[in-house]
Amino acid sequence: MNVSMKKLAWLYCAVLILLSSAVPSAAEPEKNLQSVLFEGIEVSYLDEGGKDALPVVFIHGWACSGDFWRFQVSALRDRYRVIAIDLPGFGESGKPHDRPYTLQFFARAVKAVLDHAGIKRPVLAGHSMGYGIAVQFLADYPGEARGVCNVDGAFFWLPDDPGAVPPWEAEMKGLVEGLSGPDRENLVLWFINATFYGRTPENLREEIIRVMTSADEYAANSSMAEFIRRENWVSRRFDIPSLAVYSKIPELPAETQQKLRETFPDLTYVEWIDTGHFLMMEQPGRFNELLVTFLERFGK
């Protein structure tokens, strides 16, 4: 793998800007699986907790599934209403090959789940690409979410000079081309391993690799290609509380907090030095405590 591609993976998985201790095991929740028909697709989601409790909606990242939030579901369902979505194309949801998997498409799917579940003004939690979907939801449905938790979220920003080409653009296009090429399997495996930052426990690595390498190829390729489009990364501002938790690595740009604060002025920003990209799975107790402190801002 060449140096440029290595930089690309760090760009995506650390932030996508301009993208051995045992892990605590969660008790398997008594799953309340639901589904909604959305644009001809069955979208599966887990719905746990009291119907009148503060709703928290978890949105997974690229090539993952709602099960990646299981430690949060089991820990929070006694106090909050928790929804963990399998986005279209992933997990147990339908996987059509006749449409682009845009951020707007995913945001509409989240809205369909909320409407089906009868949920009003949830707190959204998005991991990796899921953060980008949460931001798109805020843009498309103003006032319909009360806060956002950003978990090592992937995002870009555009240069001030509209004629300048962002340094990430060519590299990310190279990734998209590689996903459609003959070496796709090796590229995906290498890409996933790059997100562990040498910190993710081995048992979780095996699970993450298994799920992500088996993700639907069309959905994975299309969602990545659509995600990097520069029209997604116009400047936006939302006056709602936001929590951002990032894994600190040398490749994490110094401007990360500043750029996030431009979008969310009411921002609580945290960096951890001892986790990989999947920090909510790697240190669930620590993450859940931080998340609950954030959720307490919203009352019931």
Token couple for 205: 């690595």
Q: pLDDT value at position 210?
A: 98
pLDDT tens digits for range 7-66: 444 444 433 433 333 344 444 545 789 999 999 999 999 999 999 999 999 999 999 999
C-alpha 219/C-alpha 87 separation (Å) is 10
Residue 227 pLDDT greater than 60, yes or no: yes
pLDDT tens digits for range 135-173: 999 999 999 999 999 999 999 998 888 778 787 788 888
DSSP 8-state code for residue 230: G
What pTM, to 2 d.p., does this model score? 0.91
> What are the residues whose beta carbons fall under 8 Å from the beta carbon of 83, sequence distance 6 or more?
45, 46, 47, 48, 55, 56, 57, 58, 113, 114, 117, 119, 122
| Cα-based angle 121, 17, 179 (whole degrees, multiple of 5) | 95
What average pLDDT does the segment 219-237 reach?
95
Residue 174 pLDDT greater than 80, yes or no: yes
Residue 78 pLDDT greater than 90, yes or no: yes
Cβ-based neighbour number of residue 249 at 10 Å: 18
Q: pLDDT value at position 172?
A: 85
What average pLDDT does the segment 70-86 reach?
98
pLDDT tens digits for range 239-256: 999 999 999 999 999 999
Q: pLDDT value at position 11?
A: 47
What is the pLDDT confidence band of residue 300, given thresholds at 50, 70 and 90? Answer: low
Q: pLDDT value at position 65?
A: 98
CA end-to-end span of the chain: 50
Residue 128 pLDDT greater than 70, yes or no: yes
pLDDT tens digits for range 1-18: 333 444 444 444 433 433
C-alpha 84/C-alpha 18 separation (Å) is 29
Q: pLDDT value at position 30?
A: 53
Residue 123 pLDDT greater than 70, yes or no: yes
Alpha helices (H) along the chain: 3-10, 70-76, 103-117, 129-140, 167-179, 184-194, 202-213, 217-227, 256-263, 279-282, 284-295
Q: What domains lie within the chain, and their CATH numbers?
A: 3-298 (3.40.50.1820)
pLDDT tens digits for range 88-104: 999 999 999 999 999 99
C-alpha 47/C-alpha 32 separation (Å) is 5
Token couple for 230: 């520069």
Q: What percent of the chain has pLDDT above 70? A: 90
Q: pLDDT value at position 69?
A: 98
What are the φ and ψ backbone dihedral angles of 123, each rounded to 5 degrees? -95, 130
Tell me what the pLDDT averaged over the chain comes to. Answer: 90
